[in-house]
Structure 1
């Protein structure tokens, strides 16, 4: 159904999932989450499906994340929709991570927040010259979620810390450097890629998929994160945001200065909680553990003034001038962070 928010189709051996809200940059609704999960279940049972491909309609983005306006309205109303959305979204992220068949994500254009959750947990992640990837949550009074606290600590050095705290967007080369993508392919050839994957034999393996993708692969460009690895690793290795800001202040060069300027615009509460969750993710044994921890924090976000203020400034009034409370990282007490660490009930994954 071409007017559906998610279009499910079969092409040869490929099961294809198309996010179909192009005017909203394919941002996710609860109905979309449920449709994707149902499609994955069906394709997993279908012996004639060798591979699943996830893509976004339109030329601007794969998926810009969850529909934060809807989450904001739900939180205001206290109707429980936001909590249900996060719970089902995180289960979908885990479903993708353990999916029994090769899962290919075409991360063309904007791929942020929930879009990273739909792609970076898959086995085969394709980026293009148009990819702009980010976990921008600290800029809206929220925290990196969808399993980002499992993915980002696995990036080289402190690159994941930089991504999770700053929320800045990166391109294809940086996404591959950070371990969030595997191969770069020109956006103009993605249709050919789907055609090639659809001809894979029944029971095709991930090796078959890799071989098919390599026929289209392009050399990656220069990674800004790789170029600044020494600064990133020196300045973002600390256990407190205050120490990170101080270390950035001691560094020379525009990259460190820009990073520090950006951090000072983010929600101080979000920065401290995000750093705690990223460090906890580094010590965790599984994605499921991280998702469960993230869900607990997200549910507490429904009582966090910065969450409402950040979304107001970003998508409602669009003044891009949030007034955070507290207004500085020094004013965020340890007890404030601790209240976000309450386990979700019931647990996310039994």
Structure 2
């Protein structure tokens, strides 16, 4: 399996008896996923699945992040140069990797000791075991960038308790490790000081039966207390507001709640929604709602259609503008188009969910065939 030096250095591989440890290694970029990293990870995961000597895969990040997302600023630069199809290749490979991880036949442990955002969730949350720590910061910040929660997020956000997934996906709210555990995004919480010992014990696993890894993880896991101001204490308010049919109705419901019981959390939530791209908010809400009734493969195929329309920029150019304002120029003052929610008509939203038929050579996402899947993977299809 030939790989360039850049690929090798950005994904470090350790072999410890029956276990493979993959370390995302772009610490200066907070391990943001480059095309080269995805091109390295996908064949590795497929090869480990076929190799009977590999029983368990661990994935972690170097430095203070697990992975801060996909390298979308590079994609935005390609689009600005008229090369949106390069971005389409990036996203199709990324989504294929997400699908393989979601339907993986061997246990995968993601150690989330730091920042986990966007694409970082895609290469962790789909796995069998997700370890949060006191250093974990999770977010899906795409609506502030003119994008939408992708990488299969319409599958995993829609399966969080109540309408917590809509709250996380629309506002870009940050969750800590305790909140990730409470809502189910993480399966275990382990203090960072115990990670070295945990990893050493996991490397002694000699079976691909997930109960062996699970037993080890259960011995290390703790039940952290949710902070007093945690959004997870507000599930009743979140469910009342984020269960509404439209983004406009969600904001109105929040504003009504705020008049009765104003507080900082409510103000911050309303502010985040009003600052986000109107186009992004509307397509994100529909995407998560559709995800409730779809398998992970269907979600990724739909998200690929959506992201291709986002990159083409024929309905809205908010993705390029959001990347400019937040990631490139960093003036944090995006000029969204359309500017108002009411100007983002249902007919415009509908366009994002259609095939990109008029584009020569464009095809729907073709997911790799899967075989010999465990019940946990079959349940996601």
Is contact 1:159–1:225 with CA below 8 Å preserved after alignment? no
Corresponding residue for residue 352 of structure 2: 340
Alignment counterpart, residue 105 of structure 2, candidates 100, 109, 126: 100
Please list every run of 5 or more consecutive structure 2 residues that lacks an aligned counterpart in the other structure.
357-361, 368-381
Structure 1 residues 66-119: Cα deviation after superposition (integer angstroms, max 9, x where no partner)? 112111111112332210000000000000011111000011110000000000
Which position in structure 2 is the counterpart of 1:248? 254
Structure-2 residue corresponding to 1:10: 15
Q: Indicate if the aligned counterparts of 1:13 and 1:197 stay in contact, CA closer than 8 A.
A: no
Partner of 2:92: 87
Q: Which residue of 1 aligns with 2:120?
A: 115
Residue 261 of structure 1 and its aligned partner are, at CA, apart by: 1.4
Q: Secondary structure at the match of 2:224?
A: coil
The TM-score normalised by the length of structure 2 is: 0.88
The alignment partner of 2:15 has SS state of strand
List gaps (5 residues or longer) in structure 1. Answer: none
Distance 1:212 1:24 in 2: 32
What displacement does 1:347 show? 2.3
Q: Quick one: distance in 2 between partners of 1:169 and 1:89?
A: 23
Residue 155 of structure 1 contacts residue 177 of structure 1 at CA under 8 Å; is this kept in 2? no
Q: Distance in 2 between matches of 1:331 and 1:182?
A: 41
Answer yes or no: is the 8 Å Cα contact 1:65–1:113 preserved in 2: yes
- After superposition, give the CA deviation of every residue in 1:246-300 in whole Å (9 maximum; x if it has no partner): 000110232323211110000011001100111111122x100010110000001
What SS does structure 2 have at the residue aligned with 1:119? coil
Q: Which residue of 2 aligns with 1:41?
A: 46
Shift of 1:31: 1.0
Name the residue aligned to 2:225: 221
TM-fit CA distance, 1:346: 1.9
Offset at residue 42 of structure 1 (A): 1.9
Residue pairs, 1:15-164, within 5 angstroms: 15-58=20-63, 60-79=64-83, 80-164=85-169
Distance 2:25 2:121 in 1: 17
Range that drifts further, 91-100 or 174-183: 174-183
Equivalenced residues, count: 347
1:97-146 superposed Cα distances (whole Å, 9 cap, x missing partner): 11111000011110000000000000000001010001100000110100
Q: Structure 1 residue 283 and structure 2 residue 287: aligned?
A: no
- Aligned partner of residue 121 in structure 1, secondary structure: coil
Q: Secondary structure at the residue paired with 2:275? A: coil
Q: 2:284 aligns with which of 268, 274, 291?
A: 274
2:214 corresponds, among 205, 210, 213, to 210
3-state secondary structure, aligned to 1:16? strand
